[in-house]
Amino acid sequence: MAGPRVSPWSPIWNRFREDRLAVGGAIFILLLVVLALLAPVLPIRDPNHGYYELLPANGAPLSPGGTFLLGSDPNGRDLLSRIIWGARISLFIGFVANGLALVVGVTVGALAGYLRGWFETILMRLTDIMMAFPVLLFSIAIISIIERGSVLVIVAVIALFYWTAVARIVRGQVLSLKEREFVEAGRALGGGPQHNLLHHILPHLVPIIIVYGTIGVATSISTESILSFIGIGVQAPTADWGKMVADGQDFMFLAPWLVIFPGLMILLTVLAFNLIGDGLRDALDPRARALFRGVIGGVVAGGAGLAGQRPGLDPDAEPT
């Protein structure tokens, strides 16, 4: 007697939704995505237009609650509009940069782990070299040389640095997976590397990709904020959270809302992605806790940190 058909995802969903923090994070991100997508049609002011005529004669920014719900900056721009439009930039860069990092990282890690030999040596030493660069310094150098303020360059730079961590984890996983019986069986039946990787190994990597992908979005967003904060990220007048914090710095004591609101958005968004990642990790593979504990710790410790510095991320660790 066959029971009712159960999707393989439903136990995962059941486990995930028990994690209140993760669900909270997911709701927050969902709302943010909706707001960001709807920004052009929402009844809000142009985020980049300065309403100088509304500012007092001394040019002081307007406090929250008056004409502008979240106040204005010293250029007379609506903080609420800027925060909503800023979400578009942050989410776009977060998703795209991290997506790129995943594609490169998974490809490199899987090939290195499966093919081994000189191929692995070259790829993994390349990974080591990339990890040895101080991310911020190198990003500054690259962005200054190529083009300052181009969103695509920022995406490329973030992806350039974060594929390495993915590659190491994936390689470790593949190393152990390829020794399993079902892969061996695939090989014995004449499956080539391409077939084995795509059909037998990749499906087992999905949980890792999902979890690391989610947490990586947080890392990418905080890195983008840092780049914009130090002035080499998104350029004026485009609204961006990191840049808003930087611009509001000197008014911090006079108009704390200029720093608090965008700062809070960065904090909440990064936290939400981390919580979701945490929840997904538990839901997807309750046994993998030990492996990922280090990943979370590293991400929370600092978005610009190097994956290689994250404790507990031993690329050769076998899952327990």
Partner 1 sequence: MKRLHNAAMAVLGVGAIVLSACGNAATTTEGQPVSGGTLLTSFKDDLKTLDPAIGYDTDSWLIERAIYNGLLDYKGFTTQLQPDIAAAMPVVSPDGKTYTFKLRQGVKFSNGRTVTADDFKYSWERMLDPKTAGPMTSGPFWGSVHGAQDFFNGAATSVSGFKVIDASTIEIDLDTPNQSFLNIIAMPFGFVIPKEAVAAAGSDYAHKPVGTGPFVLDKWTPGQLIVLKKNPNYFGTKPYLDELDAQIGVTPEVGYLRLQNNQIDIVQPDVTIPSAQYIQLSANPSWKNRILKSPNVDIWYLAMNANMKPFDNKLVRQAFNYTVNKANQIKILNGRGVVNNGIQAPAMPGYVPNYNPLGLDANGQNIQKAKDLLKQAGYDASHPFPAQDLVYAKASADSDRLAASIQQDFQQVGITLNLKGLAFNAFLDITGKPNATALSYNGWFQDFPDPSDFIDPILSCAAANVTANGGNVAFFCDQAADKLADQARGDTNSAERLKLYQQFQDIIVTQDFPWVPMYSTVQTAVAAPRVHGFQIHPVWLFVATSIWVTGGAPSLAPASASASASASP
Q: Which is closer to partner 1, CB of 64 or CB of 256? A: 256
Q: Which is closer to partner 1, CB of 6 or CB of 57? A: 57
CB of 138 to partner 1, least distance (A): 21
List of residues contacting partner 1 (CB under 8 A): 48-50, 52, 55, 57-60, 74-75, 149, 231, 235-237, 247, 249-251, 253-254
Q: Which is closer to partner 1, CB of 118 or CB of 253? A: 253
Could you give the CA distance from residue 252 to residue 247 in angstroms, rounded to a whole number? 10
Could you give the CA distance from residue 81 to residue 48 in angstroms, rounded to a whole number? 9
CB of 225 to partner 1, least distance (A): 17
CB of 84 to partner 1, least distance (A): 19
CB of 52 to partner 1, least distance (A): 4
Residue 159 structure tokens: 């992806």
Which alpha helices (H) appear in the chain, and where do they start and end? 10-18, 20-38, 79-115, 117-132, 135-145, 151-177, 181-188, 193-195, 202-229, 241-248, 257-284, 289-301
Q: Which is closer to partner 1, CB of 74 or CB of 94? A: 74
Cβ atoms of 182 and 266 within 8 Å: the answer is: no
Q: 147: buried, middle or exposed (CB in 10 Å: 19+, 13-18, 0-12)?
A: exposed
Cβ atoms of 54 and 67 within 8 Å: the answer is: yes
Give the number of other Cβ atoms within 10 Å of residue 269's Cβ: 24
* Residue 36 neighbours by CB under 8 Å, 6+ apart: 84, 85, 87, 88, 91
Amino acid at 244: M
CB of 229 to partner 1, least distance (A): 13
Q: Which is closer to partner 1, CB of 126 or CB of 260? A: 260
CB of 158 to partner 1, least distance (A): 22
CB of 149 to partner 1, least distance (A): 8
Q: Which is closer to partner 1, CB of 79 or CB of 296? A: 79
Assign residue 116 a region (left: φ > 0; alpha: ψ between -120 and 50; beta: otherwise).
Answer: left
Q: Which is closer to partner 1, CB of 8 or CB of 56? A: 56
Cβ atoms of 266 and 218 within 8 Å: the answer is: no
